Amino acid sequence: MPIVIRTGWLTGIRAVERDLRKGRDALRNPDQLTIVTSKGYQGSLASSVELADAGMMKFLNTNMTGLNICYALQILETF
Alpha carbon of residue 40 to chain centroid: 12
Pairs from 59-64 (Cβ < 8 Å, separation ≥ 24): 64/38
50 DSSP β-pair partners: 36
- The model carries a pTM of 0.80
Average pLDDT of the residues in 48-55 = 89
25 pLDDT more than 90:
yes
pLDDT band at 77 (very low <50, low <70, confident <90, very high): confident
pLDDT of residue 2: 58
Contact (CB, 8 A) for 37 and 7:
yes
Q: Terminus-to-terminus CA distance in the chain, angstroms?
A: 9
- CA angle at 68 for the pair 64 and 74, rounded to the nearest 5°: 120
